[in-house]
Structure 1
Amino acid sequence: MNNKTRVDKKNIRIFGIMLFLVVTLFVAFFIYRYIENKSTSNTNIVGLDINKLPEYNGKPYVVINNNEPNFDKSELVSKSFEKYSELDSLKRCGVADSIIGQDLMPTSKRENISSVKPTGWKSVKYNGIEGGSLYNRCHLIGFQLAGENANKRNLITGTRYLNTKGMLPFENMIADYVKETNNHVRYRVTPIFVGNELVARGIQIEAISIEDNGKAIKFNVYCFNIQPNIEIDYKTGNSWRK
């Protein structure tokens, strides 16, 4: 074998290695972009178009999808569980999923949760807001339902209005039903972020009572993360009075 043949084979081998590396990097880049796009966007539940969110009409929530939650029949079992999405690349919460039963409910008082600073969190107060503070650390699955304390995968930056006027009435409804009947409720809460915003525009809550096939509890609502008379920059959490 002459020197030219050896050099040609060596060059072919080097070219093959370089081509393999380029293809590998190319594939890795697109896999990364796919994962990144998934992690910085919400799972959109059927019945709510994230590109055309409901407009606030003076009420803390609106009914969506004709009040029908989007659960598969196979999910409606009388066995309690709770599952929280991993934080995305911006450290935002995702879907909180559960079946609420008495065995999931707390048996002790709520602990301090001030150690958690959800995305967009600002300590700001305004006159005229109950309690003074614009923002609360809002549980996706309320403490009275699952007993979660400083779980960063279950706490978002939510207005006082969202917390007490939007979400709380539905949480109370479920808690009362479960305590009175010892039945179970399929329950899912989805924070709705737009693009790379750090503060959720709202919360989608879906629920159905299991043992009675939705006779007592069945709803699909969107709760607004707004505060009357206050303007919010959802990209940062900054705010000002209108």
Structure 2
Amino acid sequence: MKRKILSIVVLILLVCFVLTSCDTSSLGKDTNSSSSTKEVSSNISSKTDITKSTVKSKKTNNSSSKKNTKRKTASSSTNSVKKKTKKKKVKVSNISLSTIPKYSGSPYTEVNGNKPQFTSTEISKSSYEYYTDLDSLGRCGTAVACVGTDIMPTEERGTIGQVKPSGWHTVKYDCVNGKYLYNRCHLIGYQLTGENANPKNLITGTRYLNIEGMLPFENMVADYVKETDNHVMYRVTPIFKGNNLLASGVRMEGYSVEDKGEGISFNVYAYNVQPNIKIDYATGDSSYNGVSAQPTTQKPKVKKKVQPTTTYSYNAGSSNNESSTYILNANSKKFHVPSCSAVSRMKDSNKQAYTGSRSSLISQGYDPCKICNP
């Protein structure tokens, strides 16, 4: 009996010992778990802070990068605009009408001692053309070109009747060659650049301005370029007084590039006048002997003949078979009368004197000069 009681006591003690051990183990586990949880929480918090810091840093860097990119883009854009502006920059004539003598019978007068005023940065050996935009009154500005054979026209000029330049009136007088007072005058002649019905290149000009004032210089430049294959800087600036719709005249400048002005060099002002006609430059209205001119009532024809840019005629008395003395340009294959202005511009190596008939020269492949029309 005593043994049974002792066994029960021992068993109870063992159970108590086991229970006590389990509680201690559980407590240790809870402590470790709490510690581990704190560490994980701390790590997560640390990682979160790092992540936030990284994201913030990236945002800052991105913002900085975007700012730099914007600055670079803005800088690049500014440079691009400057370059474009520089390419399109055209020197505008600063001539004052007060310095121009009044018209006294000559279609043009010299400006600046007849010396063109192109700067070294404007002069080019590559052909190009540029036309200033019309102003708020619809008036043309400066037109400039480096004339070369590569931009000269290869076909006949088309119609330009659809263009109505500022101050335009369709009016006729018997005293005007061809009747019509006004022409649509090309600032840069069609024969030089092939630019035709461009409103930026057409002004209202008298027949006198077109034929007597501007055409001789256009022909001179065209012939020189064709004869030498050189380039000519060519600038034409219409000069308006105040808000007048009709130009008082045009300033014309020419300068041969390769020979530095030896072949072509001029600076003139051509008057936009018509002998015996009074012109109101504010509106383009005109009158003859105090009688106001009326616009033509003639109905336009359905079909219009395309007029050539220039009509040339041979000098009277110079028949094809008549023997005369001519000056030949062996390089351009053109022949001239000895007094022609183009003769003085020829290189001595290309210049030859010839006495014989005109028809004989043509049969040899020579063409008559378009300035002197031999």
Q: For the superposition of Structure 1 and Structure 2, which TM-score range results when normalised by the shorter chain? A: 0.7 to 0.9
Kindly indicate whether residue 273 of structure 2 is the aligned counterpart of residue 191 of structure 1.
no
So what's the TM-score if we normalise by structure 2? 0.52
Distance in 2 of aligned mates of 1:92 and 1:172: 25
Contact 2:256 2:265 survives alignment (8 Å): yes
Correspondence for 1:155: 202
What are the within-5 Å matches in structure 2 for residues 95-106 of structure 1?
Answer: 95-106=142-153
Q: Which amino acid aligns with 1:62?
A: T
Contact 1:81 1:99 survives alignment (8 Å): yes
Q: CA deviation at 1:148?
A: 1.0
Q: CA deviation at 1:199?
A: 0.3
Q: Which amino acid aligns with 1:180?
A: E
Q: Which amino acid aligns with 2:180?
A: S
Q: Which amino acid aligns with 2:209?
A: L
State the SS of the aligned residue for 1:82.
Answer: strand
Kindly indicate whether residue 114 of structure 2 is the aligned counterpart of residue 67 of structure 1.
yes
Kindly indicate whether residue 96 of structure 2 is the aligned counterpart of residue 49 of structure 1.
yes
Contact 1:84 1:97 survives alignment (8 Å): yes
Q: Which amino acid aligns with 2:139?
A: R
Contact 1:45 1:70 survives alignment (8 Å): no
Q: CA deviation at 1:44?
A: 5.5
State the SS of the aligned residue for 2:97.
Answer: coil
Unpaired segments ≥5 residues, structure 2: 1-90, 290-374
Distance in 2 of aligned mates of 1:210 and 1:126: 42
Contact 1:133 1:160 survives alignment (8 Å): yes
Number of aligned pairs? Answer: 199
Correspondence for 1:134: 181
Q: CA deviation at 1:76?
A: 1.8
Q: CA deviation at 1:75?
A: 1.9
State the SS of the aligned residue for 2:121.
Answer: helix
Deviations 1:2-48 (A, max 9, x none): xxxxxxxxxxxxxxxxxxxxxxxxxxxxxxxxxxxxxxxxx7625x3
Q: Which amino acid aligns with 2:152?
A: M
State the SS of the aligned residue for 1:222.
Answer: strand
Correspondence for 1:88: 135
Higher helix share: 2
Distance in 1 of aligned mates of 2:228 and 2:260: 14
State the SS of the aligned residue for 1:161.
Answer: helix
Distance in 1 of aligned mates of 2:266 and 2:104: 19
Larger radius of gyration: 2
Between 1 and 2, higher relative CO (CA 8 Å, sep ≥ 6) is seen in 1
Contact 2:248 2:272 survives alignment (8 Å): yes
State the SS of the aligned residue for 2:199.
Answer: coil
Distance in 1 of aligned mates of 2:147 and 2:92: 22
Deviations 1:202-237 (A, max 9, x none): 000011000000001000000000000000000000
Unpaired segments ≥5 residues, structure 1: 1-42
Correspondence for 1:110: 157
So what's the TM-score if we normalise by structure 1? 0.80
Q: CA deviation at 1:77?
A: 1.9
State the SS of the aligned residue for 1:73.
Answer: coil
Identity of aligned residues (%): 57
Distance in 2 of aligned mates of 1:75 and 1:86: 19
